[in-house]
């Protein structure tokens, strides 16, 4: 009986906090007064939590999870699904119009995609992905954010659900040898000069998600339960981080840190827009192969075949 009363008191005292996320905190990446080091104290309720993102994915520690079957991507090939690109003062965000959904991949139901956004460092010389892979930080990271289709786009309801969001993380690797590739990234970055200042936005046309994610085997991925990587850091995200990176030419990656600013034309460039890695709470992976067969295995196979 005392236990039940104890539980009731705990539940009653936690419930009011759920909707009191501090949106008035003017968080940032560039200044010590509001950067990620301050979030855990300014938005303690979530940002100081125990299933925070991003994390370092340790490939050898991740366990195989048979639930992580293939995804079904709907309208990722649509060239009209991406509608508007905007400078939010903290990221470059692309609005995904209606009709883009993901299901499968161990998700409990279909999720509707709403936006993609990007994280970067300071040109290709200073990497800025959010997730790191075996300690390696990549030049950039592209996120696709979706919410449970049954929540009908209601962010309050999605944030209060521990699996309300499905976030996809695609690491971006630099291609030093080419310029202007892939074509979809050339088109995407061609809009940056029109959104160099905060709150500027412009219509996008002719790019599909499939084209932006070109070259990635989307059957190979890691899964963990985490949070939004920006305040209010809600612990409501089923994370999928794909093993293979999208490969993008150096000149295109460099445009992010040298074109868009955090405010108007006299403000600093948007740079190093990532949160540091948080404590890992358990990562699983899909079937793969997640690692390339070693040369030794190849020799054994060859020997068997020859005999
Ligand atoms: C929200 O953050 C602002 C800015 O840091 C702070 O002044 C305010 O007291 C906070 N409000 C709550 C309810 O925590
Ligand atoms: C796979 O899904 C089942 C049923 O939802 C669940 O009980 C089990 O814990 C899941 N396995 C993993 C490794 O997540
Ligand atoms: C970014 O790189 C440029 C050019 O190398 C340098 O001048 C600048 O100080 C760097 N900025 C940050 C925030 O690291
Ligand atoms: C979201 O759902 C909550 C709870 O059902 C409701 O109070 C709120 O009005 C909804 N918000 C929108 C924008 O529909
Ligand atoms: C740019 O922003 C700064 C800081 O907010 C402000 O002081 C300045 O007046 C702005 N300049 C223009 C041209 O809007």
**pLDDT for 184:** 98
- Nearest CA to 239 among 146, 112, 116, 119? 146
pLDDT (tens digit per residue) in 216-261: 999 999 999 999 999 999 999 999 999 999 999 999 999 999 999 9
- The ligand 3 site (C-beta within 6 Å) comprises 122, 271-272
Please give the distance, rounded to the nearest whole angstrom, from the Cα atom of residue 11 to the centre of ligand 5: 46
SS3 assignment, position 158: helix
Choose one of 263, 264, 267 to mutate for the ligand 5 pocket test, by most ligand atoms within 8 angstroms of C-beta.
Answer: 264
**pLDDT for 304:** 59
**pLDDT for 2:** 45
Provide DSSP, 26-41: ---SS-TTTSHHHHHH
Q: Which ligand is nearest to the CA of 264?
A: 5
CA of 67, closest atom in ligand 2: 1
Domain 4-306: state its class.
alpha beta
pLDDT (tens digit per residue) in 131-141: 999 999 999 99
Whether pLDDT at 82 is above 60? yes
**pLDDT for 11:** 35
H/E run at residue 155: helix 155-159
CA distance 220 to 255: 29
- The ligand 2 site (C-beta within 6 Å) comprises 65, 67, 284
Whether pLDDT at 24 is above 80? no
Peptide bond into 232 cis (omega under 30): yes
**pLDDT for 1:** 44
**pLDDT for 287:** 86
**pLDDT for 228:** 97
**pLDDT for 25:** 81
Please give the distance, rounded to the nearest whole angstrom, from the Cα atom of residue 301 to the centre of ligand 4: 59
156 in contact with ligand 4, CB cutoff 6 A: yes
Please give the distance, rounded to the nearest whole angstrom, from the Cα atom of residue 45 to the centre of ligand 2: 28
CA distance 37 to 276: 9
Q: pLDDT over 90 for what percent of the chain?
A: 83
**pLDDT for 254:** 98
**Mean pLDDT, rounded, for 165-193:** 98
Q: Which residue's C-alpha comes closest to atom 9 of ligand 3? A: 122
Whether pLDDT at 205 is above 50? yes
Q: Mean pLDDT, the chain, as a whole number?
A: 90
**pLDDT for 307:** 58
Query: Dihedral angle at the C-alpha atoms of 184, 292, 243, 73, nearest 10 degrees?
Result: 60
DSSP secondary structure code for residue 201 in this structure: E
**pLDDT for 44:** 87
Confidence of residue 6 (pLDDT cuts 50, 70, 90): very low
Please give the distance, rounded to the nearest whole angstrom, from the Cα atom of residue 18 to the centre of ligand 3: 39
**pLDDT for 114:** 97
SS3 assignment, position 6: helix
The residues spanned by each domain of the chain are 4-306
Confidence of residue 15 (pLDDT cuts 50, 70, 90): very low
**pLDDT for 4:** 46
**Mean pLDDT, rounded, for 72-100:** 97
Beta bridge partners of 221: 242
H/E run at residue 170: strand 165-175
The structure's pTM equals 0.86
Q: Which residue's C-alpha comes closest to atom 14 of ligand 4? A: 154
């Amino acid at each position: 009986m005392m236990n039940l009363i104890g539980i009731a008191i705990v539940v009653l005292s936690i419930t009011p906090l759920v909707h009191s996320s501090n949106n008035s905190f003017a968080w940032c990446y560039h200044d010590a007064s509001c950067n990620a080091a301050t979030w855990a104290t300014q938005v303690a309720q979530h940002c100081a939590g125990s299933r925070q993102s991003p994390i370092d994915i340790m490939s050898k520690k991740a366990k195989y999870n048979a639930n992580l079957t293939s995804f079904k991507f709907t309208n990722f090939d649509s060239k009209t699904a991406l509608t508007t690109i905007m400078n939010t003062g903290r990221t470059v965000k692309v609005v995904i119009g209606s009709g883009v959904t993901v299901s499968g991949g161990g998700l409990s139901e279909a999720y509707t995609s709403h936006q993609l956004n990007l994280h970067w460092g300071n040109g290709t010389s200073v990497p800025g992905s959010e997730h790191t892979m075996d300690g390696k930080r990549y030049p950039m990271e592209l996120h696709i954010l979706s919410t449970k289709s049954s929540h009908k786009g209601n962010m309050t309801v999605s944030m209060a659900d521990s699996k309300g969001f499905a976030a996809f993380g695609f690491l971006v690797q630099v291609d030093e040898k080419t310029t202007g590739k892939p074509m979809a990234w050339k088109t995407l970055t061609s809009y940056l000069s029109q959104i160099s200042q905060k709150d500027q936005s412009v219509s996008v046309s002719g790019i599909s998600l499939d084209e932006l994610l070109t070259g990635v085997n989307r059957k190979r991925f890691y899964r963990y339960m985490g949070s939004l990587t920006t305040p209010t850091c809600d612990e409501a995200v089923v994370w999928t981080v794909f093993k293979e990176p999208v490969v993008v030419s150096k000149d295109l990656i460099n445009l992010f840190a040298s074109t868009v600013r955090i405010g108007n034309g006299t403000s600093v460039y948007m740079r190093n827009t990532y949160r540091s890695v948080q404590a890992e709470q358990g990562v699983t992976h899909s079937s793969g192969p997640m690692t390339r067969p070693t040369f030794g295995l190849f020799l054994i196979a060859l020997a068997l075949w020859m005999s």
